[in-house]
Chain A
């Protein structure tokens, strides 16, 4: 696993949105990479920059976004690539699934037709072959009675089934990378488990790398090899799931973990909370963006932006965090 080129490798990525209020920096100097077959989870609250990060990779950012830095896909630089090239990449090598399965599917076409279209357009298959492939695909995403379902429209399927269809479309051409942007947020808990299991199965069967975005710590814990915690457009901590969740070093990560109500923990009177609110992109504090809410903030935090320790270029494989005053010990 460590010998091969990472599937995605992002260095010094900056994304600035050109808005009528002036430039808004959504992402600031982030570095991360994903090895083949690995599941990388980006965890954070809203406005942290998680979606923007992956959309930069898939080339799906709007025209108002200015992207700089380096994005390498399978060793090759894709930042600044032509739209045509990116489109091809998105079709064949990168599969993307979004949060809301309802809007990801076209309500006017049968589910099978939408999947089949991928094969007719990209593989030049005949309509009937493509349809058969579509049915096979529905089967591989564990939709029962796939032949009948292929003939139905999206509104006839449940939320979980729709998401499976979306997943089917994303993996149809056997991509090396699957990007999942909050894939289970809109789903019921039990369906969420089923979808995560499905992603696990597909990843193992097809040896795909997965980049999954979520704001749910439980989801991150259950499916990640490695996790990156984002806050206000920067990665503040990254490492293996175990490292980040069991021995978090950044105060934000620690606070996030302890503010989560858990079943079974003694019925506490209060949850430990983080005071204040996540900053909007327009009003990011100077120095460390988290300092106004941090219980461990010191003078330097107000002026100097902490950098990710242990991180040099794209090959981040150690537990790294960006803090001037981390808690020592466990």
Chain B
């Protein structure tokens, strides 16, 4: 049934997402995702980089089954996700989780941390109440939060803490695949590093597969095995991290690389002639 290593866990072919915009008289089609193909093998992390409007978040939403594609195929573990219903759909939701960008809007402001993290367990009817509570404490420990945080509300958390809670929630069901849509972009620098480390550690520990969306090449490179570069809905280049950074082929990739500001290499880059 499941071929662990020979078939990719996620397989995307000819994925298209169109939006109709404008008034009825002058409707135009905006193609947010334009025939995207890629695969992710189990245990690997695929980083998707692109600027705003590249379609990367749309791809993430489609893979998370939060948005329906216009056409194309998305297979999870060999099964077309478009056709999932009922129990199979619920199963999919067990195995695939998401972490979003804004740590605060990712948590229901009226729910305590305990309630937020245990919600997936409740939905899937896993464990008794006591077992769920115990699991939440385990998860908090896994993401580096003290047990006392369980009773807090989101507004009592810092950005980094809230994001850890989101990650704990994503792990609750022991998923296989986690889609991370700019999970650290809203966080302070020193906290970004902590969360990145955490994500990497969790991936190793639980053999997770990641789709990591980001706009900063440095952070994406740290967490990813392979990178795919998107522009205007299309994938313009894809390859391993080393290939992309050392031998970029596409103009756009090169442009993105040159836009990365490294404190050492770009020292004084914009100091100019008056010095």
**Do A and B share a complex?**
yes
B272 with A203: CB separation less than 8 A: yes
Contacts of A221 in B (CB 8 A): 261-264, 266-269
Q: Does B1 contact A (CB under 8 A)?
A: no
Interface string of A186-226 (1 = CB under 8 A from B): 00111111001101110110010000000111111111110
Contact of A245 with B190 at beta-carbon distance under 8 Å, contacts A37-B274, A189-B215, A261-B219 already known: no
Contact of A269 with B200 at beta-carbon distance under 8 Å, contacts A215-B188, A217-B189, A263-B260 already known: yes
With both chains docked as a complex, state the minimum distance between the C-beta of A166 and any C-beta of chain B, in angstroms. 18
CA separation between A33 and B185, bound complex, in Å? 32
Contact of A259 with B193 at beta-carbon distance under 8 Å, contacts A215-B188, A222-B269, A223-B269 already known: yes
Per the 8 Å Cβ criterion, residues 1-38 of A in contact with B are 37
A261 with B160: CB separation less than 8 A: no
Among the stretches A169-177, A273-281, A298-306, the one at the interface with B is A273-281
Interface string of B239-266 (1 = CB under 8 A from A): 0010001000000000111111111101
CA separation between A200 and B268, bound complex, in Å? 11
Residue of B nearest to A47 (CB): B188
B189 with A218: CB separation less than 8 A: no
Contacts of A246 in B (CB 8 A): 264, 267
Per the 8 Å Cβ criterion, residues 91-118 of A in contact with B are none
B221 with A222: CB separation less than 8 A: no
Contacts of B221 in A (CB 8 A): 261, 263, 267
Contacts of A241 in B (CB 8 A): 267-268
Contacts of B263 in A (CB 8 A): 217-218, 220-221, 245, 257, 260
Contacts of B262 in A (CB 8 A): 218, 221, 262-263
B272 with A200: CB separation less than 8 A: yes
Contact of A245 with B256 at beta-carbon distance under 8 Å, contacts A270-B200, A271-B197 already known: no
Residue of A nearest to B273 (CB): A204
Q: Does A247 contact B (CB under 8 A)?
A: no
Contacts of B255 in A (CB 8 A): 190
Contacts of A218 in B (CB 8 A): 260-263, 266
Instruction: Give the size range of A's interface with the partner.
Output: 35 or more
Contacts of A45 in B (CB 8 A): 188-190
Contacts of A223 in B (CB 8 A): 269-271
**A278 touches which one: B190, B256, B260, B266 (CB < 8 A)?**
B190
Q: Does B111 contact A (CB under 8 A)?
A: no
Contact of A270 with B197 at beta-carbon distance under 8 Å, contacts A257-B263, A264-B245, A278-B188 already known: yes
Per the 8 Å Cβ criterion, residues 217-257 of A in contact with B are 217-225, 241-242, 245-246, 255-257
CA separation between A275 and B160, bound complex, in Å? 12
A261 with B188: CB separation less than 8 A: no
Q: Does B218 contact A (CB under 8 A)?
A: yes
Q: Does B236 contact A (CB under 8 A)?
A: no
Contact of A190 with B259 at beta-carbon distance under 8 Å, contacts A245-B264, A256-B189, A259-B190 already known: yes
CA separation between A74 and B2, bound complex, in Å? 73
Instruction: Give the size range of B's interface with the partner.
Output: 35 or more
B245 with A263: CB separation less than 8 A: yes
CA separation between A189 and B256, bound complex, in Å? 7
With both chains docked as a complex, state the minimum distance between the C-beta of B217 and any C-beta of chain A, in angstroms. 6
A261 with B218: CB separation less than 8 A: yes
CA separation between A270 and B261, bound complex, in Å? 21
Contact of A190 with B266 at beta-carbon distance under 8 Å, contacts A215-B188, A263-B221 already known: no
Residue of B nearest to A223 (CB): B270
Residue of A nearest to B222 (CB): A261
Q: Does B196 contact A (CB under 8 A)?
A: yes
B51 with A190: CB separation less than 8 A: yes
CA separation between A277 and B157, bound complex, in Å? 11
Residue of A nearest to B263 (CB): A221
B266 with A200: CB separation less than 8 A: no
Q: Does A39 contact B (CB under 8 A)?
A: yes
CA separation between A217 and B221, bound complex, in Å? 17
- Having A189-B51, A189-B217, A218-B262, one finds 17 other A-B pairs with CB under 8 Å, namely A188-B51, A189-B216, A189-B256, A193-B261, A200-B270, A204-B273, A217-B263, A218-B260, A218-B263, A221-B261, A221-B267, A242-B267, A245-B264, A260-B218, A262-B264, A273-B190, A277-B160
Top 5 A-B residue pairs of the complex, sorted by shortest distance between their CB atoms = A218-B261, A259-B193, A188-B51, A261-B222, A189-B259
